Copies of this chain bind each other. A is one copy, B any other.
Amino acid sequence: MDFEQAKETIFHALSKKNMILCIGKCYVEYWGRAASKLPKGKRMLLIKGDNSFAIHQNRLLRPVNYMMNCQISQKISDNALILEARKTKPKETMKVFFYSIDFLETFKMDESHDLRLFGSEKELSDLLAEDLSFIEPGLKPFKREGLLRQGVVDILAEDKQGNLVVIEVKRRLASYNAVSQLQRYMKQVEKMKNRKTRGILIAPDIVKPAHELLENYGLEFMKLDFDIGNPEAKIKGLTKKQTTLFD
């Protein structure tokens, strides 16, 4: 395909925010947060209406090179159509050298992007917060007046003995990270309120070494089974895991 014509087609599509598909033999350079070179090969360039710019190979979900929210410019050299994507903050540049174009098409798309997702961590956390007695009898919500930023701690509560309880919910198998996070939150709350504070990690399961770490920290784990996409019976069971500390 003729480079001049391709350039014109792309220019027009960019102004209309149409989706652009271009397949051809290209070489890609990137410099910014890291640097990379992608040797010549047949690949697909996908430009979307929000100025996302991605080079896809015929494998993997993720593009091999990409840039979001970039300014796109074109130029024609002796033997290539060069597309350049630029960005500031952080400063990044990506150049795609098309040596031949096998395919180029642009598409007017509509803008509906209203995916409805079920089973997010937030959803689970909110469900649990609705009835804390499900976690432990006598547990009641605790107002965090400027205690911690909203959204940092999943659930903050107070138990029957008047202890503060920091609750971290994970929607999948918990690992070291989850334990470290909870430990950090728990210590923070304990320090700020100067009160005895417990920490409970709630997840479908926990990896063994992470569970040991959790016990060393004096934290607690609760196993949570939940049904996804079934609003009537989302939380299947919530059982306190046997621990050597609290047996």
B39 engages A50 (CB within 8 Å): no
Tell me whether A50 and B59 are in contact (CB under 8 A).
yes
Asked whether, in the complex, the Cβ of A107 is within 8 Å of the Cβ of B180, the reply is no
Contact with B along A160-189 (1 / 0, CB 8 A): 000000000001100011001101100000
Q: Which 5 A/B pairs are nearest by Cβ-Cβ distance?
A: A35-B229, A58-B109, A34-B119, A180-B180, A41-B112
Shortest distance from the beta carbon of A231 to any chain B beta carbon, whole Å = 10
Asked, given contacts A41-B110, A184-B213, whether A58 binds B48 with beta carbons under 8 Å apart, the answer is yes
A residues within 8 Å of B by Cβ?
17-19, 21, 23, 31-44, 46, 48-50, 52, 54, 56-66, 68, 102-103, 105, 107, 109-120, 171-172, 176-177, 180-181, 183-184, 213, 228-229
A19 engages B58 (CB within 8 Å): yes
B31 and A228 within 8 A (CB): yes
- Distance in angstroms from A174 CB to nearest chain B CB is 14
Asked if B64 and A58 sit within 8 Å, CB to CB, the answer is: no
Bound Cα distance from A65 to B59, whole angstroms:
16
Hey, which chain B residues are within 8 Å of A33, CB to CB? 119, 172, 228
Find chain B residues with CB under 8 A from A54 CB. 61
Determine the chain B residues whose CB is within 8 A of the CB of A44 once the complex forms: 19, 107, 109
Q: Are B59 and A48 in contact (CB under 8 A)?
A: yes
Say whether A61 contacts B68, CB under 8 Å: yes
Taking a contact as CB atoms under 8 Å apart, the answer to whether A59 and B107 are in contact is: no
Nearest B residue to A21, CB-CB: B21
For the complex, give the distance between the alpha carbons of A145 and B180 in Å. Answer: 26
B115 touches A38 (CB 8 A): yes
Q: Which residues from B are CB-within-8-Å of A41?
A: 110, 112-113
A31 and B229 in contact (CB under 8 A), knowing A64-B113, A176-B184, A180-B180?
yes
- CB distance B58 to A49 under 8 Å? yes
CB distance from A94 to the nearest CB of B (A): 12
Q: Please give me the residue from chain B that is nearest to A216 by CB atom.
A: B187
Most buried by B among A56, A68, A171, A172: A56
15 additional A-B pairs beyond A34-B228, A35-B228, A40-B112, beta carbons within 8 Å, are A19-B44, A21-B21, A31-B228, A35-B117, A36-B116, A37-B116, A41-B110, A44-B107, A48-B56, A50-B58, A52-B59, A58-B109, A58-B111, A180-B180, A180-B184
